[in-house]
Amino acid sequence: MLFGSKIRKIRKEKGMSQMELAKKLGYKSNSYIADVEAGKFIPSKDKLKKIAKALNIPFSQLEEILIKSKIKELGIKDKELIDLFVDVPKLPKKEKEKIIKVYLSIKEKLKKK
């Protein structure tokens, strides 16, 4: 399920129409929400924060949905890899550097084969 359809699902779970969400965001019509849900574009980070607030969910939940959607679009299906891509941005800088170092080491070894 892609990002827009996930937004639609959350909105519907909250019992909110596209128009109600649009009004909470300051729009006069539902076309912006319809376009997001149709996958025509992904809102900016600032808009995503406003959408999260309007839906009464944590911004981190929308970020995670976005990351998972992008990963799935790339065709990555391995749960451990998806979890890694979701978790890495949340890690402290030193831990990210360790992961990158290990990855580059493995990549170098594979080149030599």
pLDDT digits (tens, 9 = 90+) for 63-108: 888 888 888 888 888 888 888 888 888 889 999 999 999 989 999 9
Domains of the chain by start residue, with CATH: 1-57 (1.10.260.40)
| Closest to 8 in 3D by CA, of 36, 29, 46 | 36
Q: What is the mean pLDDT of the chain?
A: 91
How open is the CA angle 66-38-18, to the nearest 5 degrees? 95
Q: Is the pLDDT of residue 53 over 90?
A: yes
pLDDT of residue 33: 96
Which has the minimum average pLDDT: 16-25, 54-63, 64-73? Answer: 64-73
Full-model pTM: 0.73
